[in-house]
Amino acid sequence: MGDGKGDGKVLKINTADIKLTAPVFHEQAKNLSTALTTLVTTLDGLGAPWGDDEPGKKFYDGYHPQQKAIERAAGILVLGLTSIHEAMSDMADGHVDNERLIVGMFTKAKAKIDGEDAK
């Protein structure tokens, strides 16, 4: 800081990149939600497809006690991916609005946000 060797920018935020990337999180949330729904409905619909043999019993003993926790955890991941998508979109929009306000503070002309003078 203060060495005079920079472009003067503190944050190099490219809002176009953020807006382009944000939908990826939404799409992956939908994919994970679909996979979770498929897992739950398929296993519930099949009853006990792992069978009564030794490997089947081992699977059941490991899976069944954790089944609801696994489903809850995957659901939390879906919500997390969705909230990242929303946060990135909001951040990009907020950054653009903030940039306009800052420009308005340092110029004689007032910045306008959505057609109104910034206060």
Mean pLDDT, rounded, of the chain? 79
Confidence band, pLDDT 50/70/90 cuts, at residue 91: confident
Does any domain span residue 112? Answer: no
Higher per-residue pLDDT: 77 or 104: 77
- pLDDT above 70 as % of the chain: 66
Query: Is 83 within the bounds of a domain?
Result: yes
- First-to-last alpha carbon distance for the chain, in angstroms, is 31
Please choose, from the candidates 16, 30, 31, the residue with its C-alpha nearest in 3D space to the C-alpha of residue 88: 16
- Residue 64 resides in a domain: yes
Give the span between the Cα atoms of 89 and 20, in whole angstroms: 9
User: In this predicted model, which residue has the larger pLDDT, 50 or 106?
Assistant: 50
Find the domain containing 71 and state its range: 52-92
**Residue 10 pLDDT:** 47
Does residue 84 fall inside a structural domain? yes
Number of structural domains (the chain) is 1
62 in any annotated domain:
yes
Q: What is the pLDDT of residues 33-88, one digit of tens each?
A: 999 999 889 888 888 888 889 999 998 899 889 988 999 999 999 999 999 988 88
φ/ψ of residue 13, rounded to 5: -100, 125
- Report yes or no on 98 lying in a domain: no
pLDDT score at 81: 92
Please report whether residue 58 resides in a domain. yes
Is 114 within a domain? no
Determine the pLDDT at residue 19: 80
